[in-house]
Amino acid sequence: MHISFQSITGQELQNFCNDVKAVLSIAVVEQFGIPSFPTRRSSDLATVYNIYANGEKAGGVALRINDVTHRNSMDLFYLYPEFHGRGLGYHAWKMIEGMYPETEVWELVTP
């Protein structure tokens, strides 16, 4: 399976948030709300990607990358249900680690 990431900007951020709303359970959305993620302009803002499997959009991820402390976080990760159980999450995580090899600590946010 070929996995790729596409950086999200502009109107695509709203589409990302709409996807999150559709994919995450109602209980999670009611408890935590729908996040809004600005494009990355500094180490404190989110870097947001769509995730593709074999060219088909499979989900998304929001990362906070701190270029100073190298303590980064995965604030949100989701896959569409039809992509569950294929090992895509594991491979996507390995790719993320490869994209940010300077990371000393990853913090994972789980609702």
Q: What is the mean pLDDT of the chain?
A: 80
Give percent of the chain above pLDDT 70: 78
3-7 vs 71-79, strand pairing mode: unpaired
pLDDT per residue over 42-95, tens digit each? 334 678 899 999 999 999 998 999 999 999 999 888 888 889 899 999 999 999
Contacts of 81 (CB under 8 A, 6+ apart): 23
**DSSP designation for 110:** -
On whether the CB atoms of residues 72 and 40 are closer than 8 A, the answer is no
Strand partners, 57: 52
Looking at residue 9, its pLDDT comes to 75
Give the whole-angstrom CA distance, residue 111 versus residue 44.
20
